[in-house]
Chain A
């Protein structure tokens, strides 16, 4: 006798035998068998099924009444009929009930044409209604935030949106009010839905009840094209569709890639596309002349740049040009610029991002994937700020891991959103010494159980000491690490050779007088990097200062030549995300007239400097794969829709050197200035998002008592030679002595906090 298989069950659906794992719901089992059961509320990504819409009624032999297939687990020998007369009758009746109050304004409704309710009404349901009474009416449409409008008449109360808000994003802001037929969806206490992931509910809504204001009446499914691309706003690289109508981006949707984003998208990725048409964009090359910046055409600008760069190398010797990149470039652009620096300009310093990325190489052997968070039983999040500002979508994965039973340990200053998770444990660490606390915790009891099923998420600046600690802990325990870069393609830029120096090393070279010319690739060191004054000094003294950027920035005032560059939605190329996955970026719209493609710009410049450079993305990628080890073996065609993650270098297997961590706690007040998620030029160009900005200066309970302020009182923080006044936000769980606020320039260091005098009535 064969042993009885205990973890699978066999059942019959519509006379089809199917064997599925135990515990699976009937809807999924039917899908396995190739049978569709109609659903509205069922969505596995939202957690356990609730059976709210009743659309999935099926007949199960032996059970007198029809059952909802989404909430019924399979059992052995079950005989299910989803298309029998009784089941059809039940499904038809449910649809008829759903349509009793649903307005038939499909020609007006934005969902028309891509509406699950519309689709299922065509395939199921009686085709006509017996309802002759007037329908329920509500005020419509009601804005629930500057981004989303709610039409309560259309709502079928499937609770997908409230389940998202409650179980997935955890912001608890969408709630149901009243009962039964009078239930309505609303925001908690009528406040605007202010959450980083709010836009996802518009995509989850199976009817046109929750719609994006920015897409209102912009297009119909037959008038649009969905271009599969990748979000270029943060290093996660969520897969997206850019919807194009008449040559303009009309909306951005998520494109489910379970390995990266699991079908979610943050509001920054979803709603910053209006910045493509921002007035702040530079649309023509500018050369500083006698009367300030004067517009020129592209080839004049290229000739001028090539001439100046050549002159700089001739006059000051090779290596006198520094390239300062933001890390938002595609890997192809990065490769070409790196080649220009290496082969034509004599190899001066190249900086990638304000954090400069030292130490990434050490961690390659231990690097985790995003999907590793799904299997991890212990997730360590180390950093002084909220994870959402650097890698927003990872927060949703961590929440899901907690629901599954994983432990979360946060190491940092405290009072982050992950600290509010019921499974979270917290290890307090002064900002700047988080890696030391991590090392100590890994050797103590706090991180007992750190194993190869654990992931350490390093949510902060990467540096050599941090990398040493992470490599040491990973080697000792077998866990994997997932450090978060700051810029969208920081890893790809570095892999393509754009990033040889840290900002500090570059500044040193500048101040020793070795650097005489500077090329800013998307970067704004004067306005947005630590040490802005020193960078400004470089630009002021520079023989030649070129800025390549989509927007006017704080550095533009010192640039002698400015060349506009396209934004991620206008580019072809690849980006490497946080886990090293190489993903394709596809141009959804052409850049504005006068803006040269980033690859063409670099290639044309390279040709003028005597290099033979390809100017088509696939050819550049092939060139890059041939010369850069990180891209070896990859092909343009092989990247596909989902991207590829090359196996990271396995490393030597030897124990990394034991880290030396300075003992002692920093004294006095420590100010943590972080770049918040809703900041930067793309957010500036999307005014609807501004309501999500966080203001307020987070101070700890003890400090608040000491200086005698409460939440809402004005406090003054001085750090880095400047002072800022704002409303205090007293955080009971914040570490004593830590002041945390969103700033344009990231900063961690000493500062001073005091109560500010009451504001005068001039405001």
Chain B
């Protein structure tokens, strides 16, 4: 084999490809479908009555290997009810710049409140904007219905009396 034939052979491959249809997909115009079990941006779900499924138990935060979930729980009151039960997530934040989309949070959730969806266009101009708040993650739905709940009858506590000064 001479160097000349080797080179010609190589160039022929290049030239052949010049006349083929390109495989490039025009991304913003054309979005390739993802597989059904693709793990993208998280969603927080609601019950049918509009209450949040998340109770703020922090198990997702415990499972998260990237330590990107922050949950601060608080107590539901009869006036402000967000979830069934006593507890709800007052703050629920996912730092998307840290998330590795492993889906452990979804596995850990005892109420199927969090799932990973199919969105993957998450680029932002600043890192701060990548911290997703509960409002951003919560699926759009009917505004949580303020389920009226009777207050606990504090029968174990008599009215406080002011003692003498």
Residues of A within 8 A of B (CB): 105-108, 112-113, 139-146, 150, 186-187, 190-192, 216-220, 222-223, 246, 691, 693, 695-697, 714, 724-727
Considering the chains assembled together, what is the distance between the CA atoms of A479 and B141 in angstroms? 75
Among the listed A216, A219, A695, which residue makes an inter-chain contact with B163, where contact means beta carbons less than 8 Å apart?
A695
Considering the chains assembled together, what is the distance between the CA atoms of A105 and B83 in angstroms? 13
| Chain B: CB-nearest residue to A695 | B163
- Assess whether A222 is in contact with B157, with CB atoms less than 8 Å apart: no
Given the interface contacts A108-B87, A141-B86, does A220 sit within 8 Å of B62 by beta carbon? yes
Considering the chains assembled together, what is the distance between the CA atoms of A218 and B111 in angstroms? 20
Which chain A residues lie closer than 8 Å to B99 at the CB level?
none
- Assess whether B153 is in contact with A139, with CB atoms less than 8 Å apart: yes
- Assess whether B58 is in contact with A220, with CB atoms less than 8 Å apart: yes
Query: How many contacts between A and B, using CB within 8 angstroms?
Result: 80
A32 to chain B, nearest CB (A): 35
Offer 12 A-B interface pairs, CB within 8 angstroms, sorted by A.
A106-B110, A139-B152, A141-B152, A142-B152, A142-B156, A186-B156, A217-B86, A217-B87, A220-B62, A223-B58, A223-B62, A727-B164
Identify the stretch in B41-49, B70-78, B123-131 within 8 Å (CB) of chain A at 4 or more residues: B70-78
A478 to chain B, nearest CB (A): 45
* Closest 9 pairs between A and B when the two form their complex, measured CB to CB: A695-B163, A726-B164, A107-B57, A217-B73, A220-B58, A108-B87, A222-B62, A107-B110, A108-B85
Which chain A residues lie closer than 8 Å to B85 at the CB level?
105, 108
B11-70 residues at the A interface, CB under 8 angstroms = 55-59, 61-62
| Chain A: CB-nearest residue to B90 | A217
Which chain A residues lie closer than 8 Å to B75 at the CB level?
216-217
Considering the chains assembled together, what is the distance between the CA atoms of A222 and B70 in angstroms? 12
| Chain B: CB-nearest residue to A150 | B156
- Assess whether B156 is in contact with A190, with CB atoms less than 8 Å apart: yes
Chain B: how many interface residues by the 8 Å CB criterion? 27
Considering the chains assembled together, what is the distance between the CA atoms of A192 and B160 in angstroms? 10
A758 to chain B, nearest CB (A): 14
- Assess whether A192 is in contact with B156, with CB atoms less than 8 Å apart: yes
Which chain B residues lie closer than 8 Å to A219 at the CB level?
58
Which chain B residues lie closer than 8 Å to A190 at the CB level?
155-156, 158
B91 to chain A, nearest CB (A): 10
A611 to chain B, nearest CB (A): 46
- Assess whether A145 is in contact with B157, with CB atoms less than 8 Å apart: yes
Which chain A residues lie closer than 8 Å to B156 at the CB level?
142-144, 150, 186-187, 190-192
Among the listed B55, B74, B153, B164, which residue makes an inter-chain contact with A107, where contact means beta carbons less than 8 Å apart?
B55
A376 to chain B, nearest CB (A): 37
- Assess whether A108 is in contact with B86, with CB atoms less than 8 Å apart: yes
| Chain A: CB-nearest residue to B87 | A108
Which chain B residues lie closer than 8 Å to A106 at the CB level?
57, 110
- Assess whether A191 is in contact with B158, with CB atoms less than 8 Å apart: yes
| B148 at the binding interface (Cβ < 8 Å) | no
Considering the chains assembled together, what is the distance between the CA atoms of A693 and B158 in angstroms? 16
Considering the chains assembled together, what is the distance between the CA atoms of A691 and B163 in angstroms? 10
| Chain A: CB-nearest residue to B86 | A108
Which chain B residues lie closer than 8 Å to A691 at the CB level?
160
- Assess whether A727 is in contact with B163, with CB atoms less than 8 Å apart: yes
- Assess whether B87 is in contact with A695, with CB atoms less than 8 Å apart: no
- Assess whether A143 is in contact with B163, with CB atoms less than 8 Å apart: no
| Chain B: CB-nearest residue to A190 | B156
Considering the chains assembled together, what is the distance between the CA atoms of A139 and B153 in angstroms? 8
Among the listed A105, A217, A693, which residue makes an inter-chain contact with B74, where contact means beta carbons less than 8 Å apart?
A217
B154 to chain A, nearest CB (A): 6
Among the listed A143, A223, A696, which residue makes an inter-chain contact with B154, where contact means beta carbons less than 8 Å apart?
A143
Among the listed A113, A139, A217, A695, which residue makes an inter-chain contact with B164, where contact means beta carbons less than 8 Å apart?
A695
Among the listed B86, B111, B157, B163, which residue makes an inter-chain contact with A726, where contact means beta carbons less than 8 Å apart?
B163
Considering the chains assembled together, what is the distance between the CA atoms of A140 and B86 in angstroms? 9
Which chain A residues lie closer than 8 Å to B155 at the CB level?
142, 190
- Assess whether B160 is in contact with A107, with CB atoms less than 8 Å apart: no
A512 to chain B, nearest CB (A): 37
Considering the chains assembled together, what is the distance between the CA atoms of A169 and B54 in angstroms? 40
Given the interface contacts A108-B85, A246-B72, A727-B163, does A217 sit within 8 Å of B56 by beta carbon? yes
Most A CB within 10 A of own CB, among B57, B62, B85, B156 = B156
- Assess whether B87 is in contact with A142, with CB atoms less than 8 Å apart: no
Which chain B residues lie closer than 8 Å to A714 at the CB level?
164
Considering the chains assembled together, what is the distance between the CA atoms of A219 and B157 in angstroms? 26
Considering the chains assembled together, what is the distance between the CA atoms of A693 and B154 in angstroms? 21
Most A CB within 10 A of own CB, among B55, B74, B86, B158 = B86
Considering the chains assembled together, what is the distance between the CA atoms of A342 and B67 in angstroms? 52
Which chain A residues lie closer than 8 Å to B62 at the CB level?
113, 220, 222-223
Given the interface contacts A107-B55, A141-B86, A143-B154, does A696 sit within 8 Å of B164 by beta carbon? yes
Considering the chains assembled together, what is the distance between the CA atoms of A702 and B74 in angstroms? 54
Considering the chains assembled together, what is the distance between the CA atoms of A634 and B99 in angstroms? 49
B82 to chain A, nearest CB (A): 12
Q: Mark B79-104, 1 if CB is under 8 A from A, else 0.
A: 00000011100000000000000000
Which chain B residues lie closer than 8 Å to A146 at the CB level?
157
Which chain A residues lie closer than 8 Å to B57 at the CB level?
106-108, 112, 220
Which chain A residues lie closer than 8 Å to B153 at the CB level?
139
Which chain A residues lie closer than 8 Å to B87 at the CB level?
107-108, 217
Most B CB within 10 A of own CB, among A139, A144, A217 = A217
Considering the chains assembled together, what is the distance between the CA atoms of A663 and B154 in angstroms? 55
Which chain A residues lie closer than 8 Å to B59 at the CB level?
107
| Chain A: CB-nearest residue to B72 | A246
Considering the chains assembled together, what is the distance between the CA atoms of A695 and B163 in angstroms? 6
- Assess whether B58 is in contact with A192, with CB atoms less than 8 Å apart: no
Considering the chains assembled together, what is the distance between the CA atoms of A701 and B46 in angstroms? 65
A112 to chain B, nearest CB (A): 7
- Assess whether A107 is in contact with B111, with CB atoms less than 8 Å apart: yes
Which chain B residues lie closer than 8 Å to A695 at the CB level?
163-164
B67 to chain A, nearest CB (A): 10
Which chain B residues lie closer than 8 Å to A191 at the CB level?
156, 158
| Chain B: CB-nearest residue to A144 | B156
- Assess whether A143 is in contact with B157, with CB atoms less than 8 Å apart: yes
Considering the chains assembled together, what is the distance between the CA atoms of A106 and B72 in angstroms? 16
B29 to chain A, nearest CB (A): 44
Given the interface contacts A107-B111, A192-B158, A695-B164, does A223 sit within 8 Å of B74 by beta carbon? no
| Chain B: CB-nearest residue to A690 | B160
Among the listed B61, B72, B154, which residue makes an inter-chain contact with A142, where contact means beta carbons less than 8 Å apart?
B154
Which chain B residues lie closer than 8 Å to A107 at the CB level?
55, 57, 59, 87, 110-111
Considering the chains assembled together, what is the distance between the CA atoms of A695 and B157 in angstroms? 18
Which chain A residues lie closer than 8 Å to B72 at the CB level?
246
Most B CB within 10 A of own CB, among A107, A141, A693 = A107
Which chain B residues lie closer than 8 Å to A223 at the CB level?
58, 61-62
Considering the chains assembled together, what is the distance between the CA atoms of A216 and B74 in angstroms? 8
Which chain A residues lie closer than 8 Å to B61 at the CB level?
220, 222-223
A107-B59, A142-B152, A143-B154 known; 5 other A-B pairs, CB under 8 Å? A107-B57, A108-B85, A192-B157, A246-B72, A695-B163
| Chain A: CB-nearest residue to B91 | A246
